[in-house]
Amino acid sequence: MYIAIAGNIGSGKTTLTEILTRRYGAKAYYEETDNPYLGDFYNDMSRWAFQLQISFLGSRIQQTLDMLSSGDENIFQDRTIYEDAHIFADNLHAMGLMSTRDFGTYMKIFELTTNLIPQPDVLIYLRASIPTLITQIKRRGRDYEMNIDEDYLRRLNEKYEHWINDIYRGKLLIVDKDVDDFVADPTIIDRICQQLDEMVANK
C-alpha cells in the first residue's frame, strides 16, 4: 500500500503522515524541511526560485529511489513529486519568479523522473483555507515561514484545486482541514483509515 499525502504549506501533511504511519506500522517518507535554499528563497524569491525547486526535485528523486528499493509493504509519503512541479514550480513561473527557460529545464527533468515513479494507491489531499493554514504555520513556528505572504498561499491553493480537479487522475481522498481536525478528534483518523482500506481493497 502506497499512500501519498498532499496539501499546501501548513495543511498538516507531516502530522497526518506520523499518525497513519503509527496506525499501520508503515514506513514514512517525509518532505525535506532543511533545504539549503529555503531561507534565501523566502527573502528573495526571484533570485532563488530555480535553485530551490531543483534542490527539492533532486531530494524527491532520491526519496523515490529509496522507496522503490525499500521492499516495504506499506508506505506513506509526505508530499509528492507532482506537487513540486504542478504546484510550486508552476506557480513560481506564473508569478514571473522563475524564467520560462528555467521552468522548461525543470519540467524536462520532472517528466523524465515521473516515468519511473509508481502512482500512489491513494492520494490524500488536505484541503485548507488561508486562515487555517496561517494558524497552523504560526503554531509550528518555523522561522523561515513566518513571513510567508498570504497571497502566495492563496495562489498555491488555487494551483492545488486545479491540480486535484483537472489534472490528477488517481484515487483521491479529500480531507477538509477547516472541519476535520484529526489531531483534536481521533475519530476522524478512524474514518480516514476506513476509507483508505476500502479504496485500496477496491483498486
Spatial strand order in the sheet of 172-176: 27-29, 75-78, 2-7, 122-127, 172-176
pLDDT, greater one: 140 or 167: 167
Residue 116 confidence (pLDDT): 76
CATH number assigned to the domain comprising residue 70: 3.40.50.300
Confidence of residue 158 (pLDDT cuts 50, 70, 90): very high
C-alpha cell at 116: 519511473
SS (H, E, C) 27-57: EEECCCCCCCCHHHHHHCHHHHHHHHHHHHH
What is the domain range of residue 8?
A: 2-201
Q: How many domains does the chain have?
A: 1
Beta bridge partners of 85: none
C-alpha cell at 71: 521492499
Residue 66 confidence (pLDDT): 87
Residue 203 confidence (pLDDT): 65
Residue 16 confidence (pLDDT): 95
Q: Side chain identity at 99, as an amino acid letter?
A: S
List CB contacts of 180: < 8 A, sequence separation 6 or more: 188
Q: If we measure between CA atoms, which residue out of 144, 138, 130, 154 comes closest to residue 45?
A: 144
**Geometric angle at alpha carbon 117, from 29 and 60, rounded to 5°:** 45
Residues in the chain: 203
94-147 pLDDT tens trace: 989 999 999 999 999 999 888 878 889 999 999 999 999 998 888 776 666 666
pLDDT, greater one: 8 or 69: 8
Sign of CA dihedral 58, 127, 156, 152: negative
Sign of CA dihedral 93, 49, 89, 101: positive
- If 0-12 CB within 10 Å is exposed, 13-18 middle and 19+ buried, where does residue 3 land? buried
- Known catalytic residues? 78
Largest CA distance in the chain: 48
Q: What are phi and psi of 132, to 5 degrees?
A: -65, -45
49-98 pLDDT tens trace: 999 999 999 888 888 888 878 888 899 999 999 999 999 999 999 989 99
